[in-house]
Amino acid sequence: MKVNQSVGCKAFPCPDVKHAAYLVPAIDLQPEQVSIVLISEAAPPNPVDYYYAAGSPLFQQTTVQAFQDAGAQVASIQDILDLGVYLTTAVKCGKTGYGIQASTIKECSLILEQELKLFPNVQVFLLMGDVAIKAVNEIARRAGQGRAVPAGSTYKIRGGEFYFQGKRALPSYLQAGPSFFIEKSKRKMIAEDIAAALRLAG
């Protein structure tokens, strides 16, 4: 199955993102083998940096390092996929500025909602950063469930026991992109959260 053949955006209504950098995963995978879904912020402004791009894309470099920090024996995105971890973004287009408007997160959460329905055996959702947390909360609210993850600074709430669609939801920090190498204080927490997700998924 290729996710981009099942879900996607047609209208492109969001004004604060780069539509030319629109990306939905196009890799072949077996959805029933996915036990962890890692959701990060947004597609990179340059598609060559995306998780599933050829060569050594930036998102692969930082994410592989984060999983290695967590004790996983991985060297590529394929190795991470082989662990049963599917990687995607809450917002499917690249950012044009530092932040992303709430209306854009809400709009793109409609795509994410359909995307997550493709994976019947997910045990854990890794929410990497505020945008991923907000997107999941939008989906939960539409289902009449209220927030999956409470409001508050990530360092205060991470480690709590939260659930989304009946599965564990772990709020963490963004591991995809250049900030991973800069914000070293967060790397330990990211590693702890990834390690927790791998344990929970068995």
- Of the candidates 96, 163, 169, the one whose C-alpha atom is nearest the C-alpha of residue 127 is 169
Dihedral of CA atoms 55, 61, 65, 67 in degrees, nearest 10, equals -70
Find residue 37's DSSP bridge partners.
Answer: 86, 125
d(CA 105, CA 89): 11
Burial class of residue 82 in the structure, from the number of CB atoms within 10 Å of its CB (0-12 exposed, 13-18 middle, 19+ buried): exposed
Span between the terminal Cα atoms of the chain, in Å: 24
Distances (CA, A) of 184 to 65, 93, 171, 194: 12, 26, 18, 16
Output the pLDDT for position 6: 94
Output the pLDDT for position 185: 86
Output the pLDDT for position 144: 93
Residue 49 sits in a domain of what CATH number?
3.40.470.10
* Count of other CB atoms within 10 angstroms of residue 5: 9
Contact 53, 47 (CB under 8 A): yes
Output the pLDDT for position 22: 96
Output the pLDDT for position 79: 98
Contact 131, 93 (CB under 8 A): no
Output the pLDDT for position 182: 86
Strands 36-43 and 167-172: unpaired
pLDDT by residue for the chain (202 residues), tens digit each?
999 999 999 999 999 999 999 999 999 999 999 999 999 999 999 999 999 999 999 999 999 999 999 999 999 999 999 999 999 999 999 999 889 999 999 999 999 999 999 999 999 999 999 999 999 999 999 999 989 999 999 999 998 999 999 999 999 999 998 889 888 889 999 999 999 999 999 8
Output the pLDDT for position 98: 86
d(CA 165, CA 139): 9
> How is residue 28 annotated by DSSP?
B
**Domains in the chain, number:** 1
Output the pLDDT for position 139: 98
Distances (CA, A) of 11 to 14, 29, 97, 169: 9, 27, 21, 30
Find residue 87's DSSP bridge partners.
Answer: 38
Two structure tokens written together for 29:
């995978």
d(CA 35, CA 174): 20
Two structure tokens written together for 68:
């290695």
Domain enclosing residue 43, as ranges:
3-201
